[in-house]
Structure 1
Amino acid sequence: MNEFLEGKIKAVYVRYLSAAFGSALITSIYSVVDMAMVGQYQGSDGTAALAVVAPIWNIIYSFGLLMGIGGSVLFSTVKGRKKSTAEIEDDYFTAAVIGSIILAIFSWVGLILFEQPLLQVFGASEALMPLAQQYLLPVKFVLPLFLFNQMLAAFLRNDGSPRLATTAILAGGVFNMFADYLFVFTLDLGIFGAGLATAIGSGISFLLLLTHFLTKKNTLIIRKPTNILKKLKEITVVGFSTFFVDVAMGIITILFNRQIMRYLGTDALSIYGVIVNISTFVQCCAYSVGQAAQPIISVNFGARQGNRIRETLKYALGSAGFFSLFWMVLSLAMPLLLIKVFMEPSQEIIRMAPTIIRSYSLSFIFLPFNIFATYYFQAVMKPKAAFVISITRGLVISGSLIFLLPTVFSPSSLWLVMPITELLTAIGGVLLMKRYTDQLPNQSGIKEAKKKEGLFSS
């Protein structure tokens, strides 16, 4: 933890950002490569089928982030306080592991027992249902691993092993890319092969993440926890906003799927499937900023190092701004290139796609900031602010506009739902971030504050 409290902020942040970016990017590649391969093999129906499956990934990953981010924020915050003990830190890790097991069992059983009804709710038609089920068949065997990978990667970053977390996710992602081509095209397994490659890739990542526990750097220990229910509640409260970001994406995807099929048809849904994957890349870039800054901010918040938090915030906002501009400009400039990566488009899709992608991509200018804001509020122990941002962005505004805009204006106004949502959320996020950042202690007041808290004596 000394590097968080004493190291040069820029160097530490850049190291953690590079690791987190690689990890987040490769996580998104699982679904992106699957959609690209399946779209090229089976056309727009394959792309639309994976758009139907997308909410399942959102739910599974969100459970992993709930336990991983919530537990690791508390783990790092208590480490930053001189009065913390290893037992307290380990209690949060143990509680996160127990919570992950419970959620994994719940998700696993739910998908096995209710696969078809769930896919119907997510927008599957009779034509898309068989394709979605073929993809999920191998995935169901290893479903808990996707959740555990998210949880363990978060703790490894907070335990000083960001590179191992990245290497593990990278190894699974690279395997997935090569195996996708082998299984889908060479072995002619189609959409089933894409699911098989994804399933095996998750297993590779999981095994590599476990090697952290064999290293000398490891401080994560599972022990009999005290007040397990209390700690699970604390983890849930702190991690809920990050959890809801992904859950909300799943909910919004379901609502979009249903509204698109109601007003615009399968071609529009296949284009939206591409947008979901582009948006996944943008979100993963935002996750990397939050995951890089969160351990530094959490530890320094526990140590009351306000100026170090402000410096970290400066670099994080700069990174978020770069990703915002990159993805918006790319989407505005080359919408058909993005479409052709994921499918062999028909003439109708070529006609429709540029307007749809350009309209939706206006949201990318605000999306990275809004996601980072939830990480920041969690790291400075303001879970209510993080909750307000995530629930407003993920459900209240976007959910209302999905139903309102096509009714009041036209079906094509669906593509403006997220730009309007992200803009309104960003305004609120800026105001809350300024308020809580202004409340952080100045460096000059640290010793006095620590004396009052009894954290050390001069």
Structure 2
Amino acid sequence: MAVTADELGTQDIKKLLIKQAVPSSIGILFMSVNILIDTIFVGQWIGSLAIAAVTVVLPITFLISSLGMAIGVGGGSVLSRALGANDREKALHIFGNQIMMTVLLASVFVLFGLFFSDEMLMLFGAKGAIVQPAKEFFIPIIISVPFLALCMMGNNVIRAEGKAKFAMVAMIIPAFVNIALDILFIKYLDLGMFGAALASAISYFTCFLFVFWFFVFKSELRIKIKHFKFQFPVVKEISELSFVTFSRQGVVAILSIILNHTLYTYGGEHSVAIYGIISRMLMFALFPILGITQGFLPIAGFNYGAENYERVKETVQLSIKYAAVLATLIFVVILIFAKPIVAVFTSDSHVIDQTPNALRWVFAASPVIAIQLIGAAYFQAAGKAKKALLLTLSKQGFFLIPLVLILPNFLGIFGVWIAFPIADILSTILTGYFLKKEMNTKLNKTNDGIL
């Protein structure tokens, strides 16, 4: 049964977190499996260079579509607190503004991407033999990005309403469509990279259709024409928190540029393919932790808006506990089964030989990342944009990018892989400091004062 918005403030936290996190985790799992299988198909049926091409193109498309995710997450935080404060008219205006902001910004960025496609591909690391397959993959994908942006925005609003199961379905549908069309277009019709891109583009559109259906027939947010009007205070509040998520994606894009160029410099096309496999595994293996983080956001945001700080504190503690246990189990699996996992993606012996150890190093600090993810999410849910931005950018921006630029000069390609766990540990220490301070001050308050 779906959770109503009001139940976010009344139900038992353990049960509520499970109800929110499990569907979110399943949705992320299917999205991850979709990307994973997509990578396996292009690797096995087209070649390891195809994996490298996808690794170059996807950061561009995800950067643009993440505008929708950013507006969804940032606006979802504002919307959750509005629902928590029982201000439904504000919630409706927030949603209307989210839709308009997503359509406008995504369209502008897509046009930019189409006009400067060669320059963007080169910037993101398309070199040598990677260039041609990257071009074939890029155009159909970029055209479909506005639909993906609307899906990402809508999915976060669905979760902000407490309807995590519908958000899960929205992520499952395109996964099945993409996998089926991959088999048809790549294996049977032999359309190569263009077929892989076309399958993904159609899957994004099917996701959009489901999200559109939800808001017409199932949502509590029944917006009217009057809500489709830009309101500066609403846009400002959404933008401040959306900037946190988009900045993170922007930093991820910059990191992708630096990684792709560094990997190509120290290891050629094969090293870019190796990172392509590792990046897919990062999304796939960590799906339950990301699911808990997404399930955490509407609960924390609603109760913060309702000033139920004790419930917020309990949500933070339980989320970190559950995520840390799962992250530890995931690390153990990666440690033991790294080589057979890599062999699924490609038959290229060079890639198979080098990837397992790289994979183990990248995941080495997984047991501690729960504090960083939940801590950064808390400040976003609470509407504290500056701290949320600082902590969200800490791993990739403040630590990982400088480490990737410095360490390979001394350690070669190994310097890239060892940079990941070092950045995880440093960002966790930073987030832990701010979160502990918050728990001892703001979250020690109740509606009646200090505990």
- For 1:402-417, what aligned pairs fall within 5 Å after superposition? 402-417=404-419
| 1: CA distance, partners of 2:449 / 2:229 | 32
Q: Which is further off, 43-52 or 144-153?
A: 43-52
Cα 1:310–1:441 change in 2 (3 A) is closer
- In 2, the alpha carbon distance for the partners of 1:368 and 1:152 equals 26
CA distance in 2, matches of 1:27, 1:143: 16
Q: Is the 8 A contact 2:114 2:139 kept in 1?
A: no
Gaps of 5+ in 1: 450-458
Alignment match of 2:83 (pick from 75, 79, 83): 79
Contact 1:175 1:201 in 2 (8 A): yes
Please name the residue that 1:446 is paired with. 447
Q: Give how far 1:153 is off.
A: 0.4
Show the counterpart of 1:46.
50
Task: Answer yes or no: is the 8 Å Cα contact 1:286–1:372 preserved in 2.
Answer: no
Looking at structure 1, the residues matched to 318 and 288 of structure 2 have their Cα atoms a distance apart, in angstroms, of 14
Q: Shift in Å at residue 17 of structure 1?
A: 0.7
> Residue 304 of structure 1: SS of its match in structure 2?
coil
Which shifted more, 313-322 or 288-297?
313-322
Q: Which residue of 1 aligns with 2:178?
A: 176
Seq. identity, %: 26
**SS of equivalent to 2:223:** coil
| Structure 1 segment 230-241 matched on structure 2, within 5 A | 230-241=233-244
* Corresponding residue number in structure 1 for 2:60: 56
TM-score (norm 1): 0.92
- Residue 288 of structure 1 is matched in structure 2 by 291
What displacement does 1:197 show? 1.2
Give the counterpart letter for 1:97 in structure 2: I
How far off its partner does 1:74 sit? 0.4
Paired residue secondary structure (1:343): coil
SS in 1 for 2:348: coil
3-state SS, counterpart of residue 362 of structure 1: coil
Question: Is the aligned partner of 1:338 residue 2:307?
Answer: no
| Cα drift, residue 199 of structure 1 | 1.0
What is the DSSP-based 3-state SS (H/G/I as helix, E as strand, rest coil) of the residue aligned with 2:344? helix
- Kindly indicate whether the alpha-carbon contact (under 8 Å) linking 2:286 and 2:330 is maintained by their aligned counterparts in 1: no
How far apart are 1:226 and its partner, in Å? 6.8
One-letter amino acid of the structure 1 residue matched with residue 181 of structure 2: A
Name which of structure 1's ranges 308-317 and 282-291 shifts more when overlaid on structure 2.
Answer: 282-291
Which has the higher mean CA deviation after the structures are superposed, 166-175 or 131-140? 131-140
Q: Give the Cα–Cα distance (whole angstroms) in 2 for the partners of residues 393 and 352 of structure 1.
A: 25
> Does the aligned pair in 2 maintain the 1:60–1:146 contact within 8 Å?
no
SS class of match (2:321): helix
Map 1:426-437 → 2, pairs under 5 A: 426-437=428-439
Aligned to 1:456: none
Q: C-alpha displacement at 1:64, in angstroms?
A: 1.7
Match of 1:399 among 398, 401, 423: 401
Partner SS state of residue 442, structure 2 = coil
Of residues 16, 21, 29, the one that matches 1:17 is 21
Rounded Cα–Cα distance in structure 2 between residues aligned with 1:379 and 1:417: 29
So what's the TM-score if we normalise by structure 2? 0.93
Letter in 2 for 1:186: Y
**How far apart are the structure 2 equivalents of 1:400 and 1:237?**
26
Corresponding residue number in structure 2 for 1:356: 358
Offset at 1:393?
A: 1.5
CA apart distance, 1:283:
5.3
Q: Cα deviations across residues 267-304 of structure 1 (Å, max 9, x unaligned)?
A: 22211110111112245444322210111111111111
3-state SS of 1:280 partner? helix
Once residues 60 and 31 of structure 1 are traced to their aligned partners in structure 2, the CA distance between those partners, rounded to angstroms, is: 17
Secondary structure, counterpart of 2:447 in structure 1:
helix
Are 2:320 and 1:323 aligned? no
Going from structure 1 to structure 2, the CA distance change for 1:431 and 1:80 (only over 3 Å counts) comes to same
**Structure 1 residue 134 displacement after superposition:** 1.4
Residue type of the alignment partner of 1:293: F
Deviation digits for residues 183-226 of structure 1 (CA, Å, limit 9, x no counterpart)? 21122222222111111111111111111223354224153467
The equivalent residue for 2:124 is 122
Q: CA RMSD in A?
A: 2.0
1:111 paired with 2:79, answer no
Aligned positions of 1:5-404 closer than 5 A: 5-82=9-86, 84=87, 86-215=88-217, 217-222=219-224, 223-224=226-227, 228-282=231-285, 284-346=287-349, 348-404=350-406
**Post-superposition CA distance 1:402-423 (Å, at most 9, x none):** 1111123433211111111110
The CA distance in 2 between the partners of 1:193 and 1:332, in whole Å, is: 34
**Structure 2 residue identity aligned to 1:236:** S
Cα–Cα, structure 1 residues 200 and 340, in superposed 2: closer, same or farther, change >3 Å?
same
- C-alpha deviation, 1:181, in angstroms: 1.6
